[in-house]
Amino acid sequence: MSILDKANNQQISQLESDTNFPVTNLVTNGDFSNGTTGWTALSGLAISAVANVLTATLAVSTIGVVCTDLTSAAGTARKVYVRAIVRSRSATITAIDIAIRGSTSATDGTVVAYSKSNPVVNTWYTFSSLTTTSTAATGKDRIIIRPSGAANDAIEVKYVSTIDLTAAFGTGNEPSAAEMDAILAFYPNSWFNGAVNFAANPKLLPYLLNNIRQLNTEKTGYGVYSGLTVSAQSTPDMTVSVATGVIFMENGRRFTPTANTALAVTAADATNPRIDIVYVNSSGVISYLAGTAAASPAAPSVPTGGQKLAEISVAVGAATIVAANIAGCRKRLWADDAIAPTTLGGWVAYDAVGIFKVKKDATGKVTWRGMLKSGTIGSNFALLPVALRPPINMRFPIISNALLGSILVYSDGICNIESGNNTYIDLSSISYFTE
């Protein structure tokens, strides 16, 4: 489980007293402050570095490779965090990959960490992911960056990091990529050179403590805490879109699964209907399982350790999945002691388990949950009871159709959707004190 999962008072005390938490960036000269030192051009590439940016240019129309050996030995399965900022300088670049392999040969246990197809020219992309190194790799671990395109096409790279999370945090305690992104944000350019002491960062430690304290109030069982909605595409096809969110598994693990905006649904049967499921698997990954087509179909069982998010009814010969085919099945953490304010302005509950509810705990903290859809942006969507109103007018950022929006909550109880998209607004991030 991740560094934010074992939330208890003992862990808080340990974090507050720790003075040494070493973490190492295994990439030498990942900011190219020493030019191209330590970096090698293979497979018909030419490289140069100016002002902390590496430029790699293809000599021929093919796939090129620029690489550097890490400070770690290859050959064991370890979870590593890989991050780099990359852009295409040529319109004909068709793909940019980042991978880890052994240093002995070009096919030595290669594991692709991140791949971007058809990057928009001159647009910087932040590549950030977790991957597990291959036991088949030999020699040193080697990080490789591979552009694909035409002769004289070029890419630019800056601030490359590779961190062995298993070594730093211990097996089973590795953070997610999103957690590492949040941690590295406390360092300039989300990057550091060599080894640093996380415990010595004056801003990072309070961040970790606050997240653990939030988990202590957040977790009351197992199930979906926020997000993880399954919806049809705006132009329906044989995929569904699954939002990110927070989920606690039955074994106590907490995950923030990466959204899957195009989760493929198996082609419909020509004779019988079928019921499929979308679920979070035991590793915290959004997953799909097709059911068995039958005259009276039943949904398949959720694989061991998983949690079901939705059932999808696939009609005979169906070519699209529409909203009516999706039945939300998320088990929510919240009990039903919360108040459900009457919605206004055409706003309605997103689904049966995402009803907008608000509750206040013994400390006076008000917490919202639920999702709304179909109303008018700019309209009032609810009026809060007096006991649940904030002491001053407040503005909150929200997730709305996978983008940022905002709402206003006034001290007289009026709630207004200021900006966003009415496909859905997720209210699960809202909390405040009444005094």
Q: Which residue has the higher pLDDT, 152 or 109?
A: 152
- Predicted confidence at residue 49, as pLDDT, reads 94
List for the chain the helix, strand, coil content (%; round to 5). Answer: 10, 40, 50
- Predicted confidence at residue 90, as pLDDT, reads 93
What would the mean pLDDT of 355-361 be, rounded to a whole number?
82
Written as six digits, the tokens of 260 are 């899957």
pLDDT digits (tens, 9 = 90+) for 248-275: 888 777 888 999 999 999 999 999 999 9
CA nearest neighbour of 142 among 96, 101, 190, 171 = 101
Q: What are the angstrom distances between the C-alpha of 39 and each of 32, 35, 52, 164?
A: 9, 9, 13, 20
Written as six digits, the tokens of 31 are 């900011």
Judge whether 54 and 156 are in contact, CB under 8 Å.
yes
- Predicted confidence at residue 211, as pLDDT, reads 62
Judge whether 145 and 56 are in contact, CB under 8 Å.
yes
Q: What are the angstrom distances between the C-alpha of 410 and each of 198, 347, 386, 430?
A: 39, 18, 11, 13
Residue ranges of domains in the chain = 9-212, 223-328, 348-433
Contacts of 193 (CB under 8 A, 6+ apart): 25, 30, 31
Judge whether 248 and 254 are in contact, CB under 8 Å.
yes
pLDDT digits (tens, 9 = 90+) for 320-338: 999 888 887 787 765 445 7
User: In angstroms, rounded to a whole number, what is the distance separating the alpha carbons of residues 215 and 370?
Assistant: 19
Beta-bridge mates of residue 76: none
**Residues in the chain, total:** 435
User: In angstroms, rounded to a whole number, what is the distance separating the alpha carbons of residues 364 and 402?
Assistant: 30
What would the mean pLDDT of 365-389 be, rounded to a whole number?
88
- CATH 2.60.120.260 correct for 9-212: yes
- Angle at 159 (CA atoms; ends 168, 255), nearest 5 degrees: 45
Q: Which residue has the higher pLDDT, 206 or 242?
A: 242
- Predicted confidence at residue 217, as pLDDT, reads 47
| 59: pLDDT strictly greater than 90 | no
What would the mean pLDDT of 213-240 be, rounded to a whole number?
78
In CATH terms, the fold of domain 223-328 is Immunoglobulin-like (2.60.40)
- Angle at 184 (CA atoms; ends 189, 22), nearest 5 degrees: 120
- Predicted confidence at residue 138, as pLDDT, reads 80
CA nearest neighbour of 220 among 331, 338, 306, 333 = 333
Q: What are the angstrom distances between the C-alpha of 226 and each of 111, 117, 176, 284?
A: 32, 31, 17, 14
Contacts of 163 (CB under 8 A, 6+ apart): 23, 24, 25, 26, 80, 81, 180
User: In angstroms, rounded to a whole number, what is the distance separating the alpha carbons of residues 47 and 94?
Assistant: 19
In CATH terms, the fold of domain 348-433 is Immunoglobulin-like (2.60.40)
User: What rounded mean pLDDT belongs to the chain?
Assistant: 84
Written as six digits, the tokens of 33 are 């402050």
Q: What are the angstrom distances between the C-alpha of 407 and each of 245, 350, 358, 417?
A: 19, 17, 15, 4
User: In angstroms, rounded to a whole number, what is the distance separating the alpha carbons of residues 47 and 93?
Assistant: 16
Query: 209 by DSSP, 3-state: which?
Result: helix
**Is there a shared CATH topology between the 9-212 domain and the 348-433 domain?**
no
Q: How far is CA 263 from the centre of its chain?
A: 15
User: In angstroms, rounded to a whole number, what is the distance separating the alpha carbons of residues 397 and 164?
Assistant: 33
| 380: pLDDT strictly greater than 60 | yes
Angle at which helix 204-218 crosses helix 177-184, to 10 degrees, equals 140
What would the mean pLDDT of 202-207 be, rounded to a whole number?
68
CA nearest neighbour of 70 among 137, 128, 146 = 137
pTM above 0.85, yes or no: no
* Sign of the CA dihedral with 377 first, then 379, 380, and 381 last: negative
Q: What are the angstrom distances between the C-alpha of 422 and each of 229, 400, 418?
A: 15, 8, 11
Q: Which residue has the higher pLDDT, 48 or 330?
A: 48
